[in-house]
Chains A and B, each alone.
Chain A
Amino acid sequence: MQCLAGYSLSKRYIDSDQQIQVLTDATLEVNESDLICITGQSGCGKSTLLHILGLLDSYDFGRVLVRGKEISSSMADAPKIRNSEIGFVFQFHYLVEDLTAKENVALPMIIAGQSSSIAYRHAIDLLSKLGLSDRQNRYPNQLSGGEQQRVSLARALINSPAIVLADEPTGNLDPKHSAEVWDMILKLNRERGQAFVIVTHDHKSAKLASLTYNLADGKLNLIDHDTNPSGVISS
């Protein structure tokens, strides 16, 4: 079943009499238990695309559907859908500095109107699954980069969203921590059937995905791992 789709998305930035056409005709469909990677050169618009799909940013033309329903970031029920259907992991973790790991993870559930005790129970459960049970009462500045990114991942997962969007979740991590996070993602995808769309520069990891797209000239192109085993894109 389809959980997220974007059709013919286009977006341009108008920046002091200079126009940048970032997306022209980007189309992507994500089904349940898909693990999709998006690669592309720096500045080609990967983050922009992910923000549009995550209802964080507006677009000029096209359509975004969440569980078959058309929606955009400016609609009144966008906050509710961001809360319950979409989990977002930023490149820079963006945890709330004044809240502990556990409280950060519990936030989406509390926003949904759940009591904090129930939210904490779920948060503790998730953190221990991600190997952070002894870190739950630490503040973000007392956690390593990899730990912070896993807390972000836990926060994206707590409301069991239809889809998790992650923008270079391992971009700032060393290979060891990066591998930790990827393992987590693969495990969640395998065991829970959790759908992911992940932007990454890491072609080796991208190969682990069920589908990989390359974003170039504002369009998404499917990469066939078998015909292009190196992951190098020849345009």
Chain B
Amino acid sequence: MRLISSKWKFSKLEQFFLLRYINAPKRNLMRFSFVFMVSGIVLSVGILSAGLNLFEGYEKSLKDVLLGSFPHISLQDANSEYFSKERADQIIQKLNKYPQIASVTPSISYAVMASNGDRVRGASLNAYDFSSGSSFPYSQYITQGSHRVNNGEAVIGKYLAKELGKGIGDSINVFYPRFDRISAMGLFSSERNFRIVGIYSSGYYENDRSHIICSLSDAEALLNINPSFSRLELRLDSEYIESASVLANAIQSDLGIDIVAYPWSIFSAGLLKLVAMEKWLIFIIFSFLVLIAGINVISAVTTIILDKKNEIAVLKTLGAKPKEVKGLIALQVGLVGFFAIIAGQVFGAGLSILVEKQGFYRLKGDVYFIDTLTATISPLNQFVIFAVAAVLVAVCIAYPLKQIDKMQIMDLLRNR
């Protein structure tokens, strides 16, 4: 439509017919020859837009959970597995001068095993300071039970709880094979019993399958270490998250080579880029559906030209220029196409919401990182879909119209 109207200003004749089309849509727009064209456009644009809505939703959920449940920058000792408490305090002091940092949380994280007596699962132990006055940055993901974890208690991931058949109030054993104490009996492992007080569910499958969150002193006892931390977890104010790597570089040079600063993007940017690329790949592939639907547009325009041979001849006889005659048909089919594209987008939105709400297909968390499908209807995407579909439809309208230039009045009149 835009393409057509920008090429020339509507002549009086085109205005006249445009008004006719709009005032008598039944006679002019709802013709049988448009049925296949309209259904083709609605279906293809619908699928294109549903696909993009779902992919956009996936990208957004993945990014949200990556940024919500992982540190934006994490600081680790370059030479040892742990920082001492004093060292950590010094670093925290130094970090005070960065206003971009919203919180610094010292933590211990370590790979352990969890068992319910007969089943054993690999897990990751994550210990934080739950004493009053300190904040636990991921409490939004504790979906059931307590947000505070005392000694002897643990919050565990949703799928870990499911696999071990445990719930709130039950207890699990966590053990850690100690390679420094190998005896004649085999590996000596240190073991500890936790009462489950909460369920952690972030939507990020790997964490929900492995997280065990406990207090610092429990972790120190289990791992047999002095009060110390394995890392400092920095969370940034939202406007600085995208530039975390710049800040990480600044902190790195500030703190010297004994500390390593890892921005979140080191672990996740590649993944997010891949997802974004897949999204546009899907878009391009589904755009071909619209192109295929364009074949119906071509045949609708061709049918109209055949249907209206006499009319075209009459208009030419009465002095209409070929350009105007083409404009009239383009307007008519273009209007139908315009409404069909809009209807397709509405259909696509409905389709993606339906997929989101349905219960029988879930994402495989171990493949797709997250396990819930959400649809995001972004105005930018809708605009891009509209623009691409409109251009494809416009081309498919313009192409067969070219034959009108070659049609002589007499040829049109003779084979009536």
Question: A113 to B15, alpha carbons, bound, how many Å?
Answer: 10
Interface string of B391-416 (1 = CB under 8 A from A): 00000000000000000111001001
- Are A54 and B16 closer than 8 Å at their CB atoms? no
Chain B residues lying within 8 Å of A82, measured Cβ to Cβ, are 316-319
Interface residues on chain A, size class: 20 to 34
Interface residue? B372 (CB, 8 A): no
- Are A111 and B317 closer than 8 Å at their CB atoms? no
Question: A108 to B314, alpha carbons, bound, how many Å?
Answer: 10
Among residues of A, the one whose C-beta sits closest to the C-beta of B310 is A94
Chain B residues lying within 8 Å of A142, measured Cβ to Cβ, are none
Question: A113 to B11, alpha carbons, bound, how many Å?
Answer: 7
Among residues of B, the one whose C-beta sits closest to the C-beta of A114 is B12
Interface residue? B281 (CB, 8 A): no
- Are B12 and A99 closer than 8 Å at their CB atoms? no
Interface residues on chain B, size class: 20 to 34
Interface residue? B13 (CB, 8 A): yes
- Are A99 and B20 closer than 8 Å at their CB atoms? yes
- Residue among A84, A95, A107, A111 with max Cβ neighbours from chain B (10 Å): A111
Interface string of B320-359 (1 = CB under 8 A from A): 1100100000000000000000000000000000000000
Question: A82 to B27, alpha carbons, bound, how many Å?
Answer: 29
DSSP class of B's interface residues: helix, strand, loop or mixed?
Answer: helix
Chain A residues lying within 8 Å of B324, measured Cβ to Cβ, are 111
Among residues of B, the one whose C-beta sits closest to the C-beta of A56 is B409
B16 interface neighbour in A58, A92, A94, A110, Cβ under 8 Å: A110
- Are A111 and B409 closer than 8 Å at their CB atoms? no
Among residues of B, the one whose C-beta sits closest to the C-beta of A78 is B319
- Are A83 and B319 closer than 8 Å at their CB atoms? yes
- Are B409 and A108 closer than 8 Å at their CB atoms? no
Interface residue? B278 (CB, 8 A): no
Among residues of A, the one whose C-beta sits closest to the C-beta of B28 is A98
Chain B residues lying within 8 Å of A155, measured Cβ to Cβ, are 318
- Are B20 and A111 closer than 8 Å at their CB atoms? no
Question: Whole-angstrom distance from the CB of B415 to the nearest CB of chain A?
Answer: 13
- Are A112 and B310 closer than 8 Å at their CB atoms? no
Chain A residues lying within 8 Å of B314, measured Cβ to Cβ, are 94-96
Interface residue? B366 (CB, 8 A): no
Tell me the chain B residues, 30-87 only, with Cβ under 8 Å from chain A. Answer: none
Interface string of A89-132 (1 = CB under 8 A from B): 01010111111000100011011111110000000000000000
- Are B320 and A56 closer than 8 Å at their CB atoms? no
- Are A79 and B20 closer than 8 Å at their CB atoms? no
- Are A108 and B319 closer than 8 Å at their CB atoms? yes
Question: Whole-angstrom distance from the CB of A118 to the nearest CB of chain B?
Answer: 10
Chain A residues lying within 8 Å of B410, measured Cβ to Cβ, are 51, 56-57
Question: Whole-angstrom distance from the CB of A83 to the nearest CB of chain B?
Answer: 2
Question: Whole-angstrom distance from the CB of A127 to the nearest CB of chain B?
Answer: 17
Among residues of A, the one whose C-beta sits closest to the C-beta of B319 is A83
Question: A103 to B21, alpha carbons, bound, how many Å?
Answer: 14
- Are B311 and A88 closer than 8 Å at their CB atoms? no
- Are B12 and A79 closer than 8 Å at their CB atoms? no
A113 interface neighbour in B12, B19, B20, B416, Cβ under 8 Å: B12
Interface string of B7-30 (1 = CB under 8 A from A): 000011101100110001001100
Interface residue? B88 (CB, 8 A): no
- Are A115 and B12 closer than 8 Å at their CB atoms? yes
Interface residue? B313 (CB, 8 A): yes
Interface string of A69-86 (1 = CB under 8 A from B): 000010000011111100
Residues A112 and B28 in contact in the complex (CB < 8 Å), given A56-B410, A94-B310: no
Among residues of B, the one whose C-beta sits closest to the C-beta of A57 is B410
Question: Whole-angstrom distance from the CB of A75 to the nearest CB of chain B?
Answer: 13
Chain A residues lying within 8 Å of B317, measured Cβ to Cβ, are 54, 56, 82, 88, 94
Question: Whole-angstrom distance from the CB of B26 to the nearest CB of chain A?
Answer: 11
Among residues of A, the one whose C-beta sits closest to the C-beta of B311 is A96
- Residue among B12, B16, B317 with max Cβ neighbours from chain A (10 Å): B317
> Can you give 28 contacting A-B residue pairs, CB < 8 Å?
A56-B317, A56-B409, A57-B408, A79-B316, A79-B319, A80-B319, A82-B317, A83-B319, A84-B319, A88-B317, A94-B314, A94-B317, A96-B311, A96-B314, A98-B20, A98-B24, A98-B311, A99-B20, A108-B318, A110-B12, A110-B16, A111-B12, A111-B320, A112-B319, A113-B12, A114-B12, A116-B12, A116-B19
Beyond the given A82-B318, A107-B13, could you list 9 further A-B residue pairs with CB under 8 A, ordered by the A residue number? A51-B410, A57-B409, A79-B321, A81-B319, A88-B317, A94-B413, A95-B314, A96-B315, A111-B324
User: B residues bordering A, Cβ < 8 Å?
Assistant: 11-13, 15-16, 19-20, 24, 27-28, 310-311, 313-321, 324, 408-410, 413, 416
